[in-house]
Structure formats: C-alpha cells, structure tokens
Amino acid sequence: DAKTTQPPSMDCAEGRAANLPCNHSTISGNEYVYWYRQIHSQGPQYIIHGLKNNETNEMASLIITEDRKSSTLILPHATLRDTAVYYCIVSSAGGSYIPTFGRGTSLIVHP
C-alpha cells in the first residue's frame, strides 16, 4: 500500500473549517483514500473514503486532487469534540483491506 504524509499537528478555531492535508504521491490507480480519527484512548473512528471523486457525508468532505497525489479532509464547522488525531490511509481496492496507520495529524480545536 502507498505511503502517506501528514503534518504532525494543526489547530483550528471552533466554528471554522478545519482543512487537513494528506500527501500520497505514490498512490496507484486502484487505491482508495481513507480517513479515520482517534480521540484520546478510544478506538479509531471511520470518517470517509474515496477513490477519484470528491465525497461528502454527515461528518466531513474529502477533496481528492485530479492527479490523486494528495487529498484534503474538510470538517466544515469544527467543534471542540473534533479534537483528535486524524489518520489518512491509502489501501487497495482488491483483496483484504488492512488499515495501516502512520502517526497522523493531531488536530486541536480551540475556543
């Protein structure tokens, strides 16, 4: 599976949009981009995933560049409860899917 690069930390004001970048320059054509987050001492929580097109759900939006080498997770109106470590993962569409986690981005939402 392709490797991802994320900034180690970011901060955001409550109520503002949080834009978390992820670089996956070696992604191959059949690999999905997944985002998870982990709030302290809890299990990771699935947020969203996509292949080529931008995706939106009730939690977030995922913007994937046309060349698929990078993506951005957008939390449109961040709240204090969004403070967590966010993981960007790429994984093949074929065979088994085993999320492989890096260090992620620690997002702090402040009042």
Partner 1 sequence: KAGVTQTPRYLIKTRGQQVTLSCSPISGHRSVSWYQQTPGQGLQFLFEYFSETQRNKGNFPGRFSGRQFSNSRSEMNVSTLELGDSALYLCASSLGRGGTEAFFGQGTRLTVV
Residue closer to partner 1, measured from CB, 43 or 111: 43
Please say whether the beta carbons of 7 and 107 come within 8 A: no
Q: Which residue has the tokens 């900034």?
A: 7
Residue closer to partner 1, measured from CB, 81 or 98: 98
Beta strands in 1-111 (DSSP E): 9-13, 18-23, 31-38, 45-50, 55-56, 61-64, 70-75, 84-92, 105-110
Task: Tell me which stretch binds partner 1 (CB under 8 A): 8-16, 38-46, 60-68, 74-82.
Answer: 38-46
Q: In angstroms, what is the minimal distance from the CB of 102 to partner 1?
A: 7
From 26, 46, 52, 76, residue interacting with partner 1 (rule: CB under 8 A): 46
